[in-house]
A and B are shown apart, each in its own frame.
Chain A
Amino acid sequence: MSEKDMNDKVNEMLQRSETNVKKAEKTFIHPEDEEREVVAPDGSIIKINPIYDYFSNEKPTEEKPCSGVIEKFLNWARAESIWVLGFGTGCGSIEIPPLVTPRFDMFRFGVQMRPTPRQSNAFIISGYLSVKTLKRVIRTYEQMPSPKYILALGSCTINGGMYYDSYSTINRLDKYIPVDVYIAGCMPRPEALLAGFMKLKELIKEGKGEKANEYARNFDEYKANQKKIIKDWNMPDYNW
């Protein structure tokens, strides 16, 4: 064995023993998201940085509500068409399907499910939220068009519920994204969820459904909290 091979082997062994140290320093950017040089169709070589080139990295801005009767009319319209994103985060998502059945029938209140964040304006965080899911939730929430509303379902989103001492689930949702309505219980029945929708409608009609603006106003604070627990932040700061 040559001296170079020996050195390589020793280095490899040292690396293995320092795995924990390396884990703290390793970057979480996927290979396809790394900054690199590619050949453009016309043959020239260009530099690309996928995370910042493919997504907008602008901060969200506050949208001032209209005045007087117009805003009242808009709020009435908003309250009557709440389109919910079909996204289940925890055990509470099992309480949502009954709402689509004839027994509870949420369509009579103007509430319906949508398959994509681009078409929805309400987001139900249904139950416990792990850090891994929170990352997807933030990404999805930021892709929804304003004005948007968050319903936090179950005690896990309020104070951690029965998972308050878990290393992987968050305790308070309102530290990471603004919450309009809390629905307490473990689990809340579908009736409670309907009551939550009624409360949300009241809030919107009173002109209090302005949490998207609150998110834009306190954007840095929310981002700091999110980044405190999401260690593998490999997405743009604001992605929409």
Chain B
Amino acid sequence: MKELINKLSKDFNITDAVYQRPSLTFVTVPKGVAISLVTDLRDYEGYSHFVMMSCVDWIEEGKFQLLYLLHNPETKTDIGVKTFIDRENAEMASAHHLWKQVWTYQRELKEAFGIDFPGSPRVDEDFVVEGWVEMPHMRRDFDTKEYSENTYFPRPGRETNDPATYMRKKLYPNEPITAKKQDNDK
């Protein structure tokens, strides 16, 4: 795996490489290089199977992290290509021409995080939630509890208990709660 990364570093600007285990490696590249690296891995290094595409919201840094996970069926190894894109007006080059199943992943990311993939087929269609007009629902600044309380008529009288504390009080009412137990509860 290290040989492959060394080889790729000559052609691509790999900023970080994490060797998770012998069969799994993650590399981080700048936004503009990601699709060409994925294409290179597919066409020349044997990573022909597209496993999945995913996104992480780094709200503190103001970034989205995209991950393309690829699999090599011959060597039975995986490689994840990570890249950071800006959170505001998030836009990424589309990879729909490499695998058809990327269409669906990009459509999902468009709906859940609001990342635009210009040119990707059917990317503007609804994916899971129909008729969603709020902020994309998987962004971390979307408060799902507040939205639910304002929208779905919460029934008054609902109580929420911490199961551990509640059961201890119920089963052992006379036993004082020690500091150690309190720590465990946290």
A→B interface (CB under 8 Å): 16-17, 19-20, 23-24, 28, 131-132, 135, 158-160, 164-172, 175, 225, 228-233
Contacts and interface: CB of A to CB of B under 8 A. Distances in A.
A171 B130 contact: no
Contact of A171 (B116, B129, B148): B148
Contacts of A164: 148, 154, 158
A237 B120 CA distance: 35
Interface in B57-113: 89
Interface stretch (B22-30, B39-47, B131-139): B131-139
B153 A171 contact: yes
| Range, interface on chain B | 20 to 34
Given A16-B118, A167-B142, A229 B155 contact: no
B88 to A, nearest CB: 11
Nearest to B160: A164
Residue among B137, B144, B158 facing the most chain A CB atoms (10 A cut-off): B158
A164 B157 CA distance: 13
Nearest to B131: A232
B133 A231 contact: yes
A159 B154 contact: yes
A229 B151 contact: yes
Contacts of B148: 160, 164-167, 171
B152 interface: yes
B131 A167 contact: no
Given A19-B124, A160-B155, A167 B144 contact: yes
